[in-house]
Amino acid sequence: MENRYDKYKDSGIAWIGEIPEHWNTYQLKRCSKFINGYAFNSNHFYKDKGIPVIRIGDILNEQISFENIVYVQENNELEKFIVHKNDILIAMSGATVGKIGVYNSDDKVYINQRVGIIRTTQYNYIKRMFSTNGFIDYINLSSAGSAQPNISSDGILNFHIPVPPLNEQQTIANYLDQKCSEIDELISIKQQKIEKLKDYKKSLIFECVTGKRKV
């Protein structure tokens, strides 16, 4: 293991294990505010006008997709459900439960039911917690016995995280942004090669079974 800290201590949290001696652990609710989505009536959705509504299916690959976005009329009574720039949005139920996306725009949007907002000034560090095996296992444990996977706002806010000093949080966040971007680019290249091989396979089978290619 590279670049170890000098001294460690037991965090007291099973999924975390040991942490550097000068780090702490605490629950997300100590540094975050949680807002549940609004139960919009789907009959009031529009396809091309109004204020966008982010639904659970719009959270993809740690981003927010607007490919299938729907809209509603603006309503001043729904100010609580407006997403702010750098809010972390999380899927609260279904097959994608626990998946997150960071909203990186100043444009006005609402959140639908089954989508939650995690609002924190430490978003760039906190967002990485939701990709850990510890959080995934926590979601699975919280959903055990349910017909459909789901997690409550309390369940999310009670999740324990390791907390380094703020300057280290920023250093870690910047490092992970760079490295994860490089990894995602490599994954994308590999996926493109896989798709080309799949197309070649289909073409090869077709040519052989229809006599276009002699073997």
Same domain, 111 and 182: no
Q: Which domain holds residue 189?
A: 165-215
- pLDDT score, position 12: 94
Indicate the pLDDT class of residue 48, thresholds 50, 70 and 90: confident
Same domain, 63 and 169: no
Same domain, 155 and 207: no
Same domain, 142 and 207: no
Same domain, 82 and 128: yes
Percent above pLDDT 90 for the chain: 81
Same domain, 212 and 155: no
In a domain, 21, yes or no: yes
CATH number, position 101 = 3.90.220.20
- pLDDT score, position 154: 93
- pLDDT score, position 44: 87
For the segment 132-142, the average pLDDT, to the nearest whole number, is 88
* Exposed/middle/buried for residue 113 (C-beta within 10 Å: 0-12, 13-18, 19+): middle
Q: Which residues contact 160 (CB under 8 A, 6 or more apart)?
A: 13, 15, 16, 25, 26, 27, 28
In a domain, 208, yes or no: yes
Tens of pLDDT along 70-103?
A: 999 999 999 999 999 999 999 999 888 999 999 9
Q: Domain count for the chain, please give it.
A: 2
In a domain, 1, yes or no: no
Same domain, 208 and 157: no
